[in-house]
Amino acid sequence: MGRFRLFLCVLAVLAVLPDADLPYAYDWNNGQPQRCTKLLKRKEWRMLTSSEKAEWVGAVKCLASVRHQRLSLTKDQTALEGKRSLYDDFSYAHAAVEHSVHRNAYFLPWHRWFTYLFDTSLRDTCGYSGPTPYWDWSRDHADLFASPVFEDSPEYGLGGTGDCDSSPDADCTVTTGAFGTSTGNFHLAWPVPHPLRRNLTLITGWYPHELPQNDTIGPDFVRNSTEQTTGDFFTFQRLMTKMHDHVHNFVGGDLAGDCPKPLLEKDCQGMADSFTPNDPLFWLHHAQLDRLWSEWQHYHPSNFAAFSGTPLMPNNMTDPRYYLDVHADYKMPFDVQSVPVAPRRVFDTEVWPLCYRYTDEE
């Protein structure tokens, strides 16, 4: 068991070691990080050329094609059965440390590092060299169904809504785009083997008095979230969480954590957030959230390193939503994808090891 744990630790370290072709370096002689030699670009999906989109789609499929026996164990210490892909590993990691992923003050910094790890895997393992895409859904809020992220192209399209009605077993399976069943080469293993699923809808019917899912993702809501929360990380992140949830719920299927039909309902309890990275849209969505956090950080000097589990002016310190003990040096876990990383380490995207910036260039 000791050797097994050591092997996992080595894998975790290797997952974040810099590669000579990436825009950062590390001086192992004095243990000091060096400056970024260049900054990778992150661009809105519709600003990418068709060839850039196809290259990114191809890299995602590449990760999904590298299959292996998963080394890590489930929470009850039983080995995972069957083979999974390097792409599946991200969904499993997201599930394994779910307590650190949502509903707490670490939501934004955790996902910043997680998205960076995924982008690094595309580059290290599959040779991706293009911009990192994000989806600015605020530009599509008036008609989300017509967003360019739902293109049908089998070469570079991310596909549209799934087939929910053709048969009792349809399960909202995506049939269009590069990740749909029409291409036959994108398979998911977590939580059970199944194809990608989506069910685009503005009203889920899950909640009483539910408002449309695009109610809080328009440019006015985004602007107010940035401009009216100066220095207040807690309040800003709560507004970001609303936008986050509504996009997940609008897309439905895997991105909403809807369990695949082959999984028994009793085995699905408590899994709603765990496997949302199954959908490649997850990475564009979370890159958008990261971009909005970056914009907020640069909106006012007091925002840049702001990090707190309570609002600037709390009304009731016993509010269960508050996290009084959070701190910027807490080591956030990432399963075997990475060594633990502190929020303070990811505040600045333009220094090592992140080395990226957002751009609206055509």
pLDDT in tens, 108-117: 999 999 999 9
Q: Give residue 102's pLDDT band: very low, low, confident or very high (50, 70, 90).
A: confident
User: Taken in order 154, 156, 157, 163, is the CA torsion positive or negative?
Assistant: positive
Report pLDDT for 361.
56
CA distance 122 to 45: 17
CA distance 263 to 274: 14
What is the arithmetic mean of pLDDT over 306-316? 94
Q: Is the pLDDT of residue 7 over 60?
A: no
Q: Tell me if 315 sits within 8 A of 82, measured CB to CB.
A: no
Q: Is the pLDDT of residue 349 over 90?
A: yes
Q: Tell me if 335 sits within 8 A of 18, measured CB to CB.
A: no
What is the arithmetic mean of pLDDT over 323-347? 94
Report pLDDT for 190.
85
The SS3 assignment for 154 reads coil
194 - beta bridge partners?
188
Which domains does the chain possess?
A: 2-359 (1.10.1280.10)
Q: Is the pLDDT of residue 23 over 50?
A: no
CA distances from 128 to 119, 123, 124, 246, 276 (A): 9, 4, 8, 30, 23
Write out the two tokens for 298. Answer: 């640069």
Report pLDDT for 73.
62
User: Which range, of 62-71, 179-188, 263-272, averages the lowest pLDDT?
Assistant: 263-272
Tell how strand 26-27 and strand 32-33 pair up. Answer: antiparallel
CA distance 352 to 24: 6
Report pLDDT for 4.
38
DSSP 179: T
Token pair 């809807």 in the structure block, residue: 258
CA distance 339 to 10: 10
pLDDT tens digits along 265-306:
667 766 666 889 999 999 999 999 999 999 999 999 999 999
Burial 137-160 (b: 16+ CB within 10 A, else e): bbebbeebeebebbbeebebbbbb
73 - beta bridge partners?
79
Write out the two tokens for 102. Answer: 């949502």
More confident residue, 144 or 78: 144
Q: At what angle do helices 219-227 and 233-251 cross, to 10 degrees?
A: 160
Burial 94-115 (b: 16+ CB within 10 A, else e): bbbbbebbbeebbbbbbbbbbb
User: Which range, of 38-42, 69-73, 260-264, 331-335, averages the lowest pLDDT?
Assistant: 69-73
**Candidate ranges 29-33, 70-74, 153-157; pick with highest mean pLDDT:** 153-157
Q: Is the pLDDT of residue 209 over 90?
A: no
CA distance 290 to 214: 19
* Average pLDDT of every residue of the chain: 87
What is the arithmetic mean of pLDDT over 220-228? 97
User: Which range, of 98-112, 148-162, 214-228, 266-280, averages the lowest pLDDT?
Assistant: 266-280
Report pLDDT for 273.
67
Tell how strand 40-44 and strand 132-134 pair up. Answer: parallel
Q: Give the Cβ contact number of residue 88 at 10 Å.
A: 25
φ and ψ of 68, to 5 deg: -160, 165
- Output Rg (C-alpha) for the chain, integer angstroms: 20
Report pLDDT for 9.
42
More confident residue, 77 or 312: 312
Q: CA neighbours within 13 Å on the CB side: how many for 340?
A: 10
Percentage of residues of the chain with pLDDT beyond 70: 86
Q: Give residue 101's pLDDT band: very low, low, confident or very high (50, 70, 90).
A: confident
Token pair 């549209």 in the structure block, residue: 160
Instruction: List the one residue out of 287, 284, 204 whose CA is nearest residue 249.
Output: 204
Write out the two tokens for 342. Answer: 């502190």
Q: Is the pLDDT of residue 26 over 60?
A: no
Q: Tell me if 351 sits within 8 A of 35, measured CB to CB.
A: yes
φ and ψ of 33, to 5 deg: -70, 145
Q: Tell me if 175 sits within 8 A of 154, measured CB to CB.
A: no
pTM of the model: 0.89
More confident residue, 270 or 155: 155
Q: Is the pLDDT of residue 333 over 50?
A: yes
For the chain, the 3-state helix, strand and coil shares in percent, each to the nearest 5, are 40, 10, 50
* Cis, peptide link before residue 333, omega less than 30° from 0: no
The type of residue at 272 is A
